[in-house]
Structure 1
Amino acid sequence: MTDGEKPAEPKGEKSLRDEFVDRRPTINDVARLTGVSKKTVSRVINKSPAVKENTREEILRVMHEIGYAPDPQARGLAFRRSFLIGMIYDNPNPQYVVNMQQGLLDGMRGTGFELVVHPCDRASETFLVDVRNFVERQKLYGVILTPSVSEDERVPPILRQIGCEFIRIASVSLDEPEHMIVSHDHLGGAAAGRHLAGLGHTRIGFISGRDSFRSSHERRRGLEEALVERGLTLDEDLVASGAYTFESGFECALDLLQRPKSPTAIFAANDEMAAGVLQAARTLDIRVPDALSVVGYDNFQLAERLWPRLTTVHTPTREIGRRASTKLINPVPAVEVEREDPRALPSLVIRDTTAPPI
């Protein structure tokens, strides 16, 4: 019988009870007595919506009358977690994604775990449903949440509800220590600010990343703190909103460099946008670093392949990924305080795009 068919008329209460005096009822008995398939009974047990209400009520009634209860061990075996770890990301920078994957695989090497990646769009109406379906469909052991998915406070409760372990990677601490890897982006922003101010720049421009990325705000915070140390402030007239893309860096730089009081230095919140700044400078015939200093953030391969070679903040994405998967597979007790490994902190790499102002 299919779900759309009418359930068989129930047997009398006495006959149902008598049949199971000497043995325990099984899921097959429930299916037989209700006239539905074993699969339909299983759907009711697992609270699937794909069963008609009158059929559901009849199955539940029979289960109660004959004293049937699902075997928790059997259910645990059927829904066992796999040796799969998911990486969920919404990041416009492909090099970040590749570096993070490499780091996660470094931490998983020799453990028997494998990596499954899941790109998503936080702006999508189905974002949360898609995340949940991905975890449940793959029966994931756990997931690594990268920025900016990691910053979405709606995601962790869903993972807790379905019993999926997780690690959040973010620029600041957003959860209990056992669920966090912090990248401390404000330290990188401060390093960029100290470098430019130390060279003598006072008109320093800033191109932010996506507003939805906490990292952009933290990199700006670090820059501002470093400027305050030198008695300077970040002029709002020298701030432009980018999107962590080459194109946005180019457009923002064209705007900043053609303002009446243009900056003598620009700190772009990632290398892609810094590359756009260099292109804008060429378009306007502004020489780097003679007439304009440029600092990026990330230190991906792009930084060394640009000309001039880009001064940038190194963020150890691969090391952060390694730490994240290691922590997921081998959880650190909450009472233990993790030492901050210098290898996982941002640091400035000085190359050819910065110099004192003319």
Structure 2
Amino acid sequence: MARGARKKSQSITIETVARLAGVSAMTVSNVLNNSKPVREATREAVMRAVAELNYTPNLAAKSLASADTTRIGLLISRDEFSFISSVLGGAVEATTATGAQLLLQRLDVQTPAAILAAVDSLVASGAHAIVLPGLYAGLILSAIKDDRVPVPVVAASPGKALEGVTSVRIDDEEAAREMTAYLIGLGHRRLGFLRAVPTHLIHHSRYDGFVRALADAGLPLDHSLVITSALSFDGGMEAAAAFLDRDDRPTAIFASNDDTASAIVAMAHKRGIRVPEDLSVAGFDDSPLAKRMWPRLTTVRQPIAEIARRATELAVALARSGANGTETAPQCLEHQIVARETTARPASTCRRPPDCQVDID
């Protein structure tokens, strides 16, 4: 199976990526090697094509083909394209700077068995360390702690600290608390929360931050205004319909990522609900999508590309040091609340903003 997967990956060329992205092969090379500046939209198109084709960017580089090349495996998924695009950018930057090779494995089913099979495939293909973005490390945490993964593992944005696993992340719970406090400070008292699926660690951390902020403000938790959804645009559209079809719909909705937040804004437009006049919407990640949609999205900024870059650098260092996968000190980066055009005070309120750091971008 691993040999077949490798053959499939190697049959994809830089020209194949260029055709799918609608750019030249030179542009693809510039993006992957960070050799020349390109437009953000072009970079996203290239990275999306890389993910779709499961292309291994550095295989064509002869200088990386030697037996002593450090190879870093990275799992990616079809969902959360905005998030994965930034992860790919950070990982490519790190491997390019360190002279390592990046091996990609696309994951279509997010179960522990599927993740372990994908990790095994990467190891069979020569990966000396693995970077697991998002929920993957949490789903196979027991396997990692039991040394069933034979190479070092680094988690990028896992949602919370993972005992026994090196990670690079932000404080998701505190970030969610601050965003909820910001919405409450604007005067919102009826808040909806779009919660990640239970398999994801942020199902707990971001929800816990939301609940803490309500409690701090003396507001009750209305469980009917908490809807669980896949972190995809389609999942967000379904959740948005459930929120907005209510006669007593919330005045503000906080979504667990930007893709689902953008879906809520889209559904509000479809229903003739004005954003932010009739409904405030906030997301999480500050992906490139947040600045491109209209109105521009208020969101929690976590430096996804920087997290992925540092996680990949740690993976390279662990692989080259011969570490057996033992945990190193976790890195927790700063987050920011970024206020844009999708949030405003409810029409009948006049309250001062909350006591937390907010950037207007």
| TM-score, length basis structure 2 | 0.69
Counterpart of 1:238 (choices 219, 225, 238) is 225
2:119 equivalent to 1:131: yes
Amino acid at match of 2:312: S
Please state whether the residue corresponding to 1:109 is helix, strand or coil.
helix
The 8 Å contact of residues 267 and 295 in structure 1, kept in 2 or not, is answered as: yes
Corresponding position: 1:106 with 2:99: no
CA displacement 1:180-203 (0-9 Å, x = unmatched): 223321122112101100001010
- Please name the residue that 1:329 is paired with: 316
- Please point out which of 262, 280, 290 is paired with 1:303: 290
More displaced stretch, 196-205 vs 267-276: 267-276
Give the secondary structure class of the aligned counterpart of 1:110: helix
For the aligned residues, what is the CA RMSD? Answer: 2.5
What is the one-letter code of the residue matched to 1:168? A
Q: Is the 8 A contact 2:290 2:296 kept in 1?
A: yes
% identity of equivalent residues: 29
2: distance between equivalents of 1:176 and 1:106? Answer: 26
| Structure 1 stretches lacking a partner, 5+ long | 1-79
1:141 aligns with 2:132: no
Tell me if structure 2 keeps the 8 A contact 1:205–1:239.
yes
2:304 is equivalent to residue 353 of structure 1: no
1:93 to 70, 80, 83: 80
The gaps in structure 2 that reach 5 residues or longer are 1-66, 348-361
Residues 117-196 of structure 1: pairs in structure 2 closer than 5 A: 117-120=104-107, 121-123=109-111, 127-136=115-124, 138-152=125-139, 153-157=141-145, 160-161=147-148, 163-169=150-156, 170-176=158-164, 179-196=166-183
Deviations 1:25-78, CA, capped at 9 Å, x for gaps: xxxxxxxxxxxxxxxxxxxxxxxxxxxxxxxxxxxxxxxxxxxxxxxxxxxxxx
Q: 1:311 to 1:132 in 2, by over 3 A?
A: same
In structure 2, the partner of 1:34 is: none
Q: Which has the higher contact order (CA 8 A, sep 6+)?
A: 2
Q: Is the 8 A contact 1:82 1:141 kept in 2?
A: no
**CA distance in structure 2 between the partners assigned to 1:353 and 1:98 by the alignment:** 23
CA distance in 2, matches of 1:125, 1:329: 25
Q: Rate the CA distance shift 1:127–1:182 in 2: closer, same or farther, 3 A.
A: closer
CA contact (8 A) 2:95 2:313 kept: yes
SS in 2 for 1:119: strand
Work out whether residues 81 and 140 of structure 1, in 8 Å CA contact, stay in contact via their aligned partners in 2.
Answer: no
In structure 2, distance between residues paired with 1:220 and 1:168 = 21
Partner of 1:266: 253
Local SS of the residue matching 1:87: strand
With over 3 angstroms needed to count, the CA separation of the structure-2 counterparts of 1:127 and 1:109, relative to structure 1, is: closer
Structure 1 outlier segments of 4+, above 6 Å: 332-336
**Would you say how many aligned residue pairs link Structure 1 and Structure 2?**
273
Q: What TM-score does the superposition give when structure 1 sets the normalisation length?
A: 0.70
Deviation, 1:266, is 0.5
Structure 1 residue 82, shift from structure 2 partner: 4.5
Q: What pairs up with 1:204-215 in 2 under 5 angstroms?
A: 204-215=191-202
3-state DSSP of counterpart to 1:213: coil
Candidates 276, 280, 285, aligned match of 1:293: 280
Q: Equivalents in 1 of 2:135, 2:327: separation in Å? A: 28
Give the aligned residue type for 1:197: I
Instruction: Give distance in 2, aligned partners of 1:161 and 1:126.
Output: 14
